[in-house]
Structure 1
Amino acid sequence: MTMTHAPGAKRHSPPPAWRKPVLMGAPLVLLLVAFLVFPVGQLLALSIHNGQGFTLAPYAQLFASSLYVTVLWITLKISLATTLVAVVAAYPVAYLISVAKGPAKSRLIFWVLLSFWTSFLVRAFAWVVILGRNGVVNSTLMSLGIIDRPLDLLYGFGAVLVGMVHAMLPLAVMTMLAVMENIDRTLPRAASTLGARPGTAFWTVYFPLSLPGVAASAIMVFVSAIGFFIVPALLGGRKETMITQLIVDQVQQTLNWGLAGAISVLLLTVVLVVFVLYDRVFGFASLTGESAVVRNRDTAMRRLGGRVLGLLGSASDAVIGLLPRRHPIRGRAEQPLALTGFVWLLLALISLPAFLMIPLSFGKGGLAWPPSGFTLQWYQQLLDSPIWMQALWRSIVVAFGTGLLAMAIGVPAAFLMVRSQMRGKGAML
């Protein structure tokens, strides 16, 4: 039986194909326009307009002294060192999580995220306690008779690097894990069945497939580290001043918005240059977890890279042969004990600052280590203070609202970037 429409009935045509991507991406675009494009435009305007007309005086002041260029170089140095150490340390953690199964996988992810759930400020203060002259490290070394007087571990490059790596490590792990989870596990096993030893199979098969995750992790850590403020302010000295500290000083102390805008534009330019280089080499597709291939097509470079990976594989096989291994369990991949031990040691170290604050909160000596006595006075002062309780309640409300809005905006945007073939994904990324 054929159905016919009445002469006055309206036909429901399918929605246009562009409607769904636009609705999914609109919240993210509005967010970027309101909180990125507009503020950056305001900063640019402040740096070239002094209220009376066009001026380049802030930029002349910026480049008239070597101070700002020196601080920019220090910022890049600290950020690059943080990126290198964080990515290298995070790789075995992400690898072990990707091959783990069931409860073991959940436990590893929990311990990685535990430090991430702790405030940057709390973790920075914890490192002050750990590295201070009367802190955990110096007290332990002196009690063991290794040193006679406290070492100067704070307010230097090493303290800043430790604090920033500790802050960035969970981000590096979770970014790499997104790519490692999608690597076909049968490929390294196939290489092993063809005669490749474990180290060679890893470096020549698995590692090249994980490179997009390494690159995505590196760019995320670098961009986050270059704008850090809390850790270098608390753990660094004058020689470790980062450029964000200068921006804050120009805004809060001297009220020189023009110079602050010029410094911000300089920092933004550096970040954009890094993004362009990243896109040329790896492509922004790797940030979505896709196993994109490195865009370098030079045959000589690829051959050199293959030889280097082959040498690393042979060296790894020689080392693996000297290490004890677990007895294989049916249905599970056998992992070297050294890898498992290293990962759990690293997770214990990054979890230490979070647990360290617990005994200090019951001690009478403030941030001195070891804690002296037992008291509940700090908790009593917290509960009796209207200011602290209002701040606590406000923090909970802001955090809850931020989480809801971030999920409402981020989830559809993530689906849009990963699943769709729309144009402009690179610009959104």
Structure 2
Amino acid sequence: MTIALSARRESQTAQRGRPNWLARAVQFLPIVPALLFLLAFFIVPVGDILQGGLVDADGHFGFAQFVRIAHTPVYAKVLWITFAISFLTAALSILLGYPVAYMLSRMSARVRERWLLWIMLPFWTSYIVKTYAWMLLLSKTGVLSTIALSLGLVHETNGVIPSLTGVLIGMVHSMLPLAVMTMLPVMRGIDDRLAQAAETLGAARSTSFFTVFLPLSSPGVAAAGLLVFITSLGFFIVPSLLGSPKESMIAQLVISSVLELFDMHFAGALSTVLLCCSIVIFLVYDRMVGLSSLTGEPTERSRGSRAQGLKLAVLMAAGRFFAPLMMRRNAQSGPAARAASPLGLYTIVILVVLVAPVLSVIPYAFTKAEFIAFPPHLFSLKWFGRFMTSPVWRSAVIRSFEVGLGTALLSLALGFGATLTMTRMSARASKPVFALLVAPLIVPRIVVAVGLLYLFSRFGLTGTNLGLVIGHTVLAIPYVVVTLAAGFQRFDWRLDDAARVMGASPLRRITSIVLPLLMASVTAAFLFAFLVSFDDLTIAIFVSGGINSTLPKQMWDDIQLAITPTLAAVSTTLVIMIALVVAFSSWLKRRAR
């Protein structure tokens, strides 16, 4: 449809006497600012990392930094731990999230929206807030240890952290919503009649599931696994706060090299190793699955009988694992019946596990005590007062809001033009452009942060709000593009054609037709970009400077010194803000529908 509309526009332009090549050039102009922005602040910084890693301590080009990494066993061990933890996080997130995504995909749109609210709340809640919550729950004097001791389940409170178990709990809790949100669109696109046809032909319910539904949903599973794995490679908050030195990940070494050792070249070499490993994984993923699965398109490539047999074996094994949970799809069964099913009860348990830790920090914000203890001694508002009246915290909040608003406006302007242009491209041309626009989402964030530090240090942007806005915009553009692309898919382009026939200019059509009808998607993209900026810690650590911090950076500095009720008050404020943003976004979607 998009190609047909594009051809129609070109023919109409040619009839007016304008050269065809000029019409095409004008159509592609809105995407140019986004491409130039990513070229300057994403591709060039990543190139700087590759170059910086080839410079030794004396300023000479060579492989000395990489030789140092190869000949130091601790770095190889950290790299192995990073990949092992990332793989376990991706596997557990998919195993736990697949039934939830399946359950949500079988619901009506209205009921699904209500359930998604409880997934979006922990999804957009700050990583540092979620990690702080798990510190309160899993520590030696935390909630779980205290309850277990009082019930006589244990004789002494050892706590779960610091340990590998604590790291995996924190990381899976953070990544599980991402896995569900990635798999859900693919599952929603699977036609129910295919499974019904298999059952009509005599297939059992479980056989129908893992021979029909599971293979068709495999692109979503693969995309979720890739995004969770690569995102986990750049984690440092969770392993730093919930793990021991045995669970150190490579991102922690990068931060230590920059902030403690002041060795930028070695940090660049470490980032290069992480980037190259990510590229290799990405190429293997493309070889086995195909990059188009990231957009939810179930494409099958001919990989040979051996690869297909392996894939079928994996799908059948996973299908046998999930089949007992899968309820019979009955068009007459209502939400109550679904919730009472084994799959519905499992989904409720998962949602409780996702939301409860986030909400568990709230009582500590109202404690009277000067320290964190369970149960909290209620009721006092003094910690909110200290948070609001502290010049340090107030400055961090103001700076985060300023940078967040600037990021949301800039990323929305760049992303809207890019997405609008992609709707006028052919499918073959739009896929590589889409891949470039979402590339910051699938490159470890620590790599982007180090690259921007290289770039900004040369132009004096380190420690400035402008530098933070630029860095956060690089991270926010993928979210804006994905959100707007979903809105453009539902847009009726015949309205735009009608306005064109009536003589409306392109700018007039955008302001009077496109933007009003896509206002829900535009507002959601704006809010998501704001939250990406407001929540970011990685870019802030390298770019914000040491004088004025953002709110996540200030929380990070404080939480490493002590776990105080003030942090609980800050976390509670952030949770309330996220809940309001998610509820407002959901209200906009319902109103647009």
TM-score (norm 2): 0.65
Q: How many residues align?
A: 415
Deviation of 1:357 after TM superposition, in Å, equals: 1.2
> Which of 3, 11, 24 in structure 1 is aligned with 2:17?
11
Deviation of 1:312 after TM superposition, in Å, equals: 6.5
1:408 aligns to 2:413 (yes or no): yes
Say if 1:300 and 1:223 are closer, same or farther in 2 by CA, change over 3 A.
closer
CA distance in 1, matches of 2:412, 2:197: 40
> Which of 209, 215, 223 in structure 2 is aligned with 1:202?
209
1:266 aligns to 2:268 (yes or no): no
The residue type equivalent to 1:262 in the other structure is A
Say if 1:307 and 1:355 are closer, same or farther in 2 by CA, change over 3 A.
closer
1:375 aligns to 2:377 (yes or no): no
Say if 1:268 and 1:17 are closer, same or farther in 2 by CA, change over 3 A.
farther
Counterpart of 2:543 in structure 1 is none
User: Given that residues 214 and 319 in structure 2 are in contact (C-alpha distance below 8 angstroms), is that contact kept between their aligned partners in structure 1?
Assistant: no
Counterpart of 1:117 in structure 2 is 124
> Which of 129, 136, 152 in structure 2 is aligned with 1:129?
136
User: Given that residues 25 and 416 in structure 1 are in contact (C-alpha distance below 8 angstroms), is that contact kept between their aligned partners in structure 2?
Assistant: yes
CA distance in 2, matches of 1:165, 1:38: 32
Deviation of 1:327 after TM superposition, in Å, equals: 11
> Which of 92, 98, 104 in structure 1 is aligned with 2:105?
98
CA distance in 2, matches of 1:270, 1:221: 15
Deviation of 1:122 after TM superposition, in Å, equals: 0.8
Say if 1:269 and 1:140 are closer, same or farther in 2 by CA, change over 3 A.
same
> Which of 184, 188, 191 in structure 2 is aligned with 1:177?
184
Deviation of 1:425 after TM superposition, in Å, equals: 3.0
Deviation of 1:253 after TM superposition, in Å, equals: 0.8
User: Given that residues 75 and 243 in structure 1 are in contact (C-alpha distance below 8 angstroms), is that contact kept between their aligned partners in structure 2?
Assistant: yes
1:332-380 CA-to-partner distances (Å, cap 9, x unmatched) read 5975711101111101111112211110100134332221232111011
> Which of 64, 79, 88 in structure 2 is aligned with 1:81?
88
Counterpart of 2:35 in structure 1 is 29
Say if 1:193 and 1:299 are closer, same or farther in 2 by CA, change over 3 A.
same
Counterpart of 2:341 in structure 1 is 337
CA distance in 1, matches of 2:59, 2:318: 62
The residue type equivalent to 1:236 in the other structure is G
Counterpart of 1:5 in structure 2 is none
Counterpart of 1:297 in structure 2 is 303
User: Given that residues 175 and 213 in structure 1 are in contact (C-alpha distance below 8 angstroms), is that contact kept between their aligned partners in structure 2?
Assistant: yes
Deviation of 1:400 after TM superposition, in Å, equals: 2.9
1:299-346 CA-to-partner distances (Å, cap 9, x unmatched) read 3553565567567767866x46xx9x7996727597571110111110
* Deviation larger for 138-147 or 69-78: 138-147
> Which of 35, 44, 67 in structure 1 is aligned with 2:50?
44
User: Given that residues 205 and 328 in structure 2 are in contact (C-alpha distance below 8 angstroms), is that contact kept between their aligned partners in structure 1?
Assistant: no
Counterpart of 2:166 in structure 1 is 159
* Deviation larger for 72-81 or 330-339: 330-339
Deviation of 1:128 after TM superposition, in Å, equals: 0.3
Say if 1:68 and 1:296 are closer, same or farther in 2 by CA, change over 3 A.
farther
Say if 1:375 and 1:308 are closer, same or farther in 2 by CA, change over 3 A.
closer
Counterpart of 1:350 in structure 2 is 354
The CA RMSD measured in Å over matched residues stands at: 2.7
CA distance in 1, matches of 2:320, 2:104: 25
CA distance in 1, matches of 2:305, 2:186: 25
Matched position secondary structure for 1:275: helix
Say if 1:172 and 1:58 are closer, same or farther in 2 by CA, change over 3 A.
same
Deviation of 1:48 after TM superposition, in Å, equals: 1.9
Say if 1:257 and 1:114 are closer, same or farther in 2 by CA, change over 3 A.
same
1:398 aligns to 2:400 (yes or no): no
User: Given that residues 215 and 315 in structure 2 are in contact (C-alpha distance below 8 angstroms), is that contact kept between their aligned partners in structure 1?
Assistant: no
Matched position secondary structure for 2:86: helix
1:87-139 CA-to-partner distances (Å, cap 9, x unmatched) read 11111111111111143211111011110221111110110000011111111
* Deviation larger for 358-367 or 339-348: 358-367
Deviation of 1:251 after TM superposition, in Å, equals: 0.6
Say if 1:225 and 1:412 are closer, same or farther in 2 by CA, change over 3 A.
farther
CA distance in 2, matches of 1:210, 1:415: 28
CA distance in 2, matches of 1:340, 1:421: 38
Q: Whose helix proportion is higher, 1 or 2?
A: 2
Counterpart of 2:389 in structure 1 is 384
CA distance in 2, matches of 1:270, 1:229: 17
Stretches of structure 2 lacking an aligned partner (at least 5 in a row): 1-15, 440-593
Say if 1:175 and 1:313 are closer, same or farther in 2 by CA, change over 3 A.
closer
Deviation of 1:414 after TM superposition, in Å, equals: 5.2
CA distance in 1, matches of 2:349, 2:273: 40
Deviation of 1:157 after TM superposition, in Å, equals: 0.6
Counterpart of 2:367 in structure 1 is 363
The residue type equivalent to 2:305 in the other structure is T
Counterpart of 2:75 in structure 1 is 68
* Deviation larger for 384-393 or 14-23: 14-23
Say if 1:286 and 1:262 are closer, same or farther in 2 by CA, change over 3 A.
same
The residue type equivalent to 2:382 in the other structure is Q
Q: State the identity %.
A: 38
User: Given that residues 200 and 312 in structure 1 are in contact (C-alpha distance below 8 angstroms), is that contact kept between their aligned partners in structure 2?
Assistant: no
User: Given that residues 149 and 156 in structure 2 are in contact (C-alpha distance below 8 angstroms), is that contact kept between their aligned partners in structure 1?
Assistant: yes
The residue type equivalent to 1:374 in the other structure is F
Deviation of 1:415 after TM superposition, in Å, equals: 6.3
Counterpart of 1:3 in structure 2 is none
CA distance in 1, matches of 2:178, 2:320: 31
* Deviation larger for 96-105 or 248-257: 96-105
Say if 1:314 and 1:223 are closer, same or farther in 2 by CA, change over 3 A.
closer
The residue type equivalent to 1:69 in the other structure is A
